[in-house]
């Protein structure tokens, strides 16, 4: 997936998250899109998504969790 698409999804998720659930939404983004995020600079995706760059670490925390959790649908 292109970085611009990832940034658009991240922007929507981050800015629509309920109060108190933003960090959780960031972790979930890292979990759900871990494979797509590999090979991209997460900092650039945060900037394009209008998400504080300080959340790069939170995205990275979610990525390895993708191997351990199953997303309910």
Residues 31-53 have pLDDT tens digits of 999 999 999 999 999 999 999 99
Q: What is the pLDDT of residue 42?
A: 97
Mean pLDDT value across residues 1-26:
96
Tally the domains of the chain.
1
Asked, for residue 33, whether it belongs to a domain, the answer is: yes
Asked, for residue 72, whether it belongs to a domain, the answer is: no
The whole domain housing 31 covers: 3-65
Asked, for residue 73, whether it belongs to a domain, the answer is: no
Asked, for residue 22, whether it belongs to a domain, the answer is: yes
Asked, for residue 19, whether it belongs to a domain, the answer is: yes
Query: Residue 2, by phi and psi: left (phi above 0), alpha (psi -120 to 50) or beta?
Result: beta
Query: Residue 70, by phi and psi: left (phi above 0), alpha (psi -120 to 50) or beta?
Result: beta
């Amino acid at each position: 997936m292109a970085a611009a698409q990832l940034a658009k999804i991240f922007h929507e998720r981050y800015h629509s998250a309920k109060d108190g659930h933003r960090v959780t939404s960031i972790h979930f983004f890292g979990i759900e899109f871990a494979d797509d995020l590999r090979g991209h600079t997460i900092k650039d995706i945060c900037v394009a998504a209008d998400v504080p760059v300080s959340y790069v670490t939170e995205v990275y925390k979610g990525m390895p969790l993708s191997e351990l959790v199953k997303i309910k649908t």
